[in-house]
Amino acid sequence: MVYLGYKRPLELHDIWKPPPNETAELNAALFEAEWEKELKKPNPSIGWAYFRAFGYLLILPTTLFSVHLVCVIAGPGILMRDFLVFLETKDSDPTVGWILAFAVFITQLIAATTIQNSFQTSVEMGIRVKQATMYTIYKKIMTLPSVTSTGEIINLTTNDSNRFFLFCRNSQLGWSAVVQMLVVGALLIVELSWSGLIGLLTLLLLLPLQVYISRKIATVRRSTVKVTDERVRTMSDVLSAVQLIKFFAWEDSFAKKVKSIRENELTWLKRGKLLKSVNDSTSLVGVAVTTYITLVSYSLMGNELAASKVFTAITLLNMMRVSLVRVPLFAKTFAELFITFERVKSLLIRNNMIDERILRPKPDNSPAVVSVRKSSFIVGEPRSDKKSNGEKNENPLVRDHFTLEDINFRFESGTLIAIVGSVGSGKSSLLNAIMGQMKKTSGQIEIEGTLALASQEPWLINASLKENILFGESFHHKKYNLVLSNCELLEDLKQLPAGDMTEIGERGINLSGGQKQRVSLARAIYANRDIYLLDDPLSAVDRHVGNNLFHKCIRGLLREKLVFFVTNQLQYLDRCDKIMYLQDGKISGYGTFSELVNTHRAFRELVKKFTNLDENLDRDENKPQVDTKKNVDTKGRRETGSLTSQEARVMGTVDNKIYFEYFKSGGFFLCGLVLLLSISTGVSQVICNWFVSYWIDKQHENSVVFYYSLYAGLTLFYVFSAYMRGYLFAYTLLKSSTKIHNKVFKVIMHAPMTYFYSTPTGRILNRFSSDQDKIDEELPDLMYPAIHFTINSLCTLGIIMSVLYWFVLPALFMFLIFVWIIRYFMATSRELRRLEAITVSPIVAHLSATLKGLPVIRAYGVQTKFQEDYKKHLDLHHSLLQTVEIVARWIGIRLDTIGTIIVAVTAFLIMASRDLISPAIAGLALSYSFQMTGAFQFAVRSFAETDSKMTSAERLLNCLTETPQEAPHVIEHAKPPPSWPQNGAIAFQNVFMKYPVSEAPVLKDLSFKINPKEKIGEFFFLAS
């Protein structure tokens, strides 16, 4: 895979398929089985459910990491000390030295091998937990009585589930850090006695501070997540209603709302980043301060500084520092894990939609039946019980609070029931009650047969017109053409660029409202169900087409079905078998048309009002009709029916312009200052340790006050540089991500509607959720160690080469190998990360579409189909994530091996030149070589991860150049006078307009003028 990625950019078909035991479906089943057990307890623990489902996967990585821990302590903590004692002992047997050098090499090699394998097995566990979480959440939303916040769900599936993965991947670092602290602390006391204890206590005093800061970070993170949820939820609402927002020119108002939420989010982000910078800097400077206190106290106790003791102590303190870094880091991760537990649990414990209907399959040769007896229904909660945060239900078919009372009826197949009433009387709610989407408070509802729904607001999936009609059903040519013909869609297909294979997208830019309603009706008819719920399906079509649809479809193809027909068009009522008239959630009238006209006053008044309008319409209808076929122009039709743009994938290295723009957003001066402070921190740390070796060699040439004072000054300068670097780094990168967010949001809001029609909402939302989270949170956390470890590695190599000149030759050879490995790794890793990021958008898009179309999905009973599609998206994404991590282990074991070779070469060169260098200089070189093993890998991996996360910045910044833009809000050379508009007049002069997916104009040479205060009616025919 790595070689293939180096030779050419990887494609999705190159990725390994997941084995059967790592699919989302299986892992979700394992978790759900344990979660069901927990739900039977008074206080269910989602953590225990995860542990019982996947905890056994910890055995192998824990065993491997234990071996690693033994080797990593034995090498620098024991063998290095013995090696330095050997150098200090005159006339010692060289064989002992060579054996010790070789033993150091072997222990480091075993440590490098076991840690990479431990990480890989932990990664496999993390992927399975992440899969289980995402798929379980998706299945859960299928059962909720009302759709929850889209932003919250997307955040749970993209960001929170990823925290499960990160915790599992790093699960071995927590317990091992505690064990390492205990063992290393004991070795330090054995080595330096009371001074070692003083140093250990000094270092441990920092631990409560770091744990406290970690807890504060977790608290801040909890608040940040809430505001992020609100921002993503608001963005989802804005994108869903963008057409209305643009129509009323509300962009600025909504931009202010989003900006206000973002500013609140930034307040919490700044607090979190400041606390994290203090924590990281404290862990770094803690060792320097502790080393100073330890060595000074050791000297004050009258002890002579020896290289074997001093550099063993420094190495042990560095190991202790790593543990102290891991403990609060793991504590923070652990605290965030419990936050994620709470968020996922809060969703999973929500009550499922209780289907209180009695459902039976329709026996052969028997009629379908819907029977409702003395039933009342309620949806939502009374307004006084609603949450104070003002959240609204996103389901257009479900109100905040509405009741249907004393509903009684029984109908069988072959019956057409019209449901009429004023706005808000409960017509759509009655259909919801039949679908089981309202809570039954009394009575009984029985249904024999299958359901189909044609909703008032047609819901379309991001697919071709044909797929929207089939909706998972098998294709039958004759039946399909019959449905198209009766739904008046044949003429429409002639205008579409690829006929029924034309992609119509989420918003259906190339379909009118009437066409979308007819596609929705065609879907229902093609499904061939027993019971049809038609929610005002003729409201968006002209009168002539409406009549055809009523006679051909409702009274034609569905004549033997049981049909509930909600309508505001009363001309069809006398052709319906029964009519239900609703008022305030009650059936106030029931019977045939003539019965209700004679007996129901409100219904009679309604018909009377309609009759006057109907007579006028009839006169117009009797005029000669336009032959719509003459208006069909297929010239210039394109053969491709693709509407939705494919997500762009940039190949090769991340363009330097992306880095330029990213750092430019943070400010070049601040970025330069951060780099200068980073170099200053690395160099000052090396100088501090070099001064210790100088002190050992020259301890009798100057007074101890000289060494104490100079060493204190160097340490204080290092502390100052580290803290300043941490603060400015956090401030600068957060400033950068803030500017990028604001620019991208402005560009998106200024995009034309064609962009929103052709770009899935999920993809745009992914920019403001997953991608923005990466540059807010993950990118700074990766760039910081990348710069730190790179500077440290260069300083380390510099120290070793300045002491052991012959090290230059093996260093040059290893550098060539290093470059070769990096070229292979970077090319492959970069493309894998891009592919992984691209596979997130379909997950978000599918989830977003599901949340919008839940009523339709439930009505057709296609939950399983949508779950299968979502599972395929998850499996593909997690196969990529698995491949990314395997490649990371590939580079990790090779870089650790190079680091191990550096340790071995350093030890062998010291042995070869032991008569030419002092034990202090040897100790300095060897102690730094041990740091290379981890630093080398972390530097490269952090840079690789930084480069991969920069693809998120790349996608956001590409929005600035690739998103089409509307004309400026104010055009200076055509600026109207301040008094404009004085009159509401509209004038068209020879206007041609077309849909983006078609070359043929829809409006042709249109000219008209509407004068102020005129009331204009538009009269039209199908395809006109």
In the chain, the largest separation of any two C-alpha atoms, in whole Å, equals 124
Residues 6+ apart with CB under 8 A from 256: none
Per-residue confidence at 285, pLDDT binned at 50, 70, 90? confident
* Predicted local confidence at residue 1019, as pLDDT: 63
Query: Residue 906's closest CA among 817, 797, 815, 819?
Result: 797
* Predicted local confidence at residue 651, as pLDDT: 56
Residues 6+ apart with CB under 8 A from 978: none
- Domains identified in the chain and CATH numbers: 18-350+651-698+706-962 (1.20.1560.10), 362-385+393-448+450-623 (3.40.50.300)
Per-residue confidence at 66, pLDDT binned at 50, 70, 90? very high
Query: Residue 840's closest CA among 142, 146, 113, 162?
Result: 162
Which residue reads 């350093």 in tokens?
906
* Predicted local confidence at residue 487, as pLDDT: 92
* Predicted local confidence at residue 621, as pLDDT: 43
Which residue reads 């420094």 in tokens?
314
Residue 626 scores a pLDDT above 90:
no
End-to-end CA distance of the chain, in Å?
56
- Amino acid identity of residue 688, one-letter, is C
Residue 619 scores a pLDDT above 60:
no
Rounded to 5°, angle at Cα 276 from 275 and 277:
90
The token duo for 444 is 């009984």
Mean pLDDT, the chain, as a whole number?
A: 83
For 376-407, how does the pLDDT look when each residue is reduced to its tens digit (9 = 90+)?
988 765 444 444 444 444 443 344 566 889 99
Distance CA 412, CA 563 (A): 9
* Predicted local confidence at residue 644, as pLDDT: 52
Rounded average pLDDT over 1002-1019? 83
Q: Which residue has the higher pLDDT, 923 or 648?
A: 923
Indicate the helix (H) or strand (E) that contains 618. helix 601-621
Give the dihedral of Cα atoms 579, 583, 589, 591; nearest 10 deg: 10
Distance CA 963, CA 748 (A): 7
Which residue reads 């441990």 in tokens?
204
Please give the distance of CA 498 from its chain centroid, rounded to a whole number.
34
For 145-162, how does the pLDDT look when each residue is reduced to its tens digit (9 = 90+)?
776 567 778 888 878 888
Which residue reads 């730094």 in tokens?
928
Length of the chain: 1024
Distance CA 839, CA 646 (A): 12
Distance CA 723, CA 707 (A): 24
Distance CA 200, CA 186 (A): 9
Residue 659 scores a pLDDT above 80:
yes
- For the ranges 69-83, 503-517, 806-820, which has the lowest average pLDDT? 503-517
Query: Residue 890's closest CA among 18, 172, 120?
Result: 120
* Predicted local confidence at residue 70, as pLDDT: 93
Residue 445 scores a pLDDT above 50:
yes
Distance CA 694, CA 699 (A): 8
Distance CA 293, CA 206 (A): 14
* Predicted local confidence at residue 379, as pLDDT: 75
Q: Is 816 exposed, middle or buried (0-12, 13-18, 19+ CB in 10 A)?
A: exposed
* Predicted local confidence at residue 1023, as pLDDT: 53
* Predicted local confidence at residue 387, as pLDDT: 42
Per-residue confidence at 634, pLDDT binned at 50, 70, 90? very low
Assign 760 to helix, strand or coil. Answer: coil
* Predicted local confidence at residue 944, as pLDDT: 75
Q: Are 454 and 483 in contact (CB under 8 A)?
A: no
For 735-773, how does the pLDDT look when each residue is reduced to its tens digit (9 = 90+)?
998 899 888 888 898 888 888 877 777 778 888 887 888
Q: Are 461 and 427 in contact (CB under 8 A)?
A: no
Rounded average pLDDT over 6-10? 74
Rounded average pLDDT over 634-640? 40
The token duo for 858 is 């439930």
Rounded average pLDDT over 238-265? 88
Tell me how many helices (H) and strands (E) the chain has: 33, 12
The token duo for 34 is 């344990």
Rounded average pLDDT over 472-489? 92
For 403-434, how does the pLDDT look when each residue is reduced to its tens digit (9 = 90+)?
889 999 999 999 999 999 888 888 988 998 99
pTM over 0.95: no
Distance CA 311, CA 84 (A): 9
Distance CA 158, CA 225 (A): 12
Residue 184 scores a pLDDT above 60:
yes
Q: Are 682 and 791 in contact (CB under 8 A)?
A: yes
Distance CA 419, CA 570 (A): 10
Distance CA 501, CA 860 (A): 22
- For the ranges 63-72, 689-698, 829-838, which has the lowest average pLDDT? 829-838
Distance CA 250, CA 255 (A): 8
DSSP 176-222: HHHHHHHHHHHHHHHHHTHHHHHHHHHHHHHHHHHHHHHHHHHHHHH
Which residue reads 């030779």 in tokens?
7
For 295-323, how does the pLDDT look when each residue is reduced to its tens digit (9 = 90+)?
888 888 888 888 888 888 888 888 887 78
Distance CA 39, CA 511 (A): 47
* Predicted local confidence at residue 633, as pLDDT: 38
* Predicted local confidence at residue 450, as pLDDT: 92
* Predicted local confidence at residue 3, as pLDDT: 74
Per-residue confidence at 610, pLDDT binned at 50, 70, 90? low
Q: Are 210 and 328 in contact (CB under 8 A)?
A: yes
* Predicted local confidence at residue 401, as pLDDT: 60
The token duo for 306 is 């020896």
* Predicted local confidence at residue 630, as pLDDT: 34
Residues 6+ apart with CB under 8 A from 599: 589, 591
Q: Is 811 exposed, middle or buried (0-12, 13-18, 19+ CB in 10 A)?
A: middle
Query: Residue 404's closest CA among 374, 376, 436?
Result: 376
* Predicted local confidence at residue 60, as pLDDT: 93
Rounded average pLDDT over 654-681? 88
User: What angle do the packed helices 919-962 and 808-838 form, to 10 degrees?
Assistant: 30
Q: Which residue has the higher pLDDT, 976 or 27?
A: 27
Query: Residue 791's closest CA among 927, 947, 685?
Result: 685
DSSP 45-62: -HHHHHHHHHGGGGHHHH
Rounded average pLDDT over 504-524? 80
Q: Are 158 and 229 in contact (CB under 8 A)?
A: no
- Amino acid identity of residue 604, one-letter, is R
Residue 26 scores a pLDDT above 70:
yes
Residue 174 scores a pLDDT above 60:
yes
Residue 848 scores a pLDDT above 80:
yes
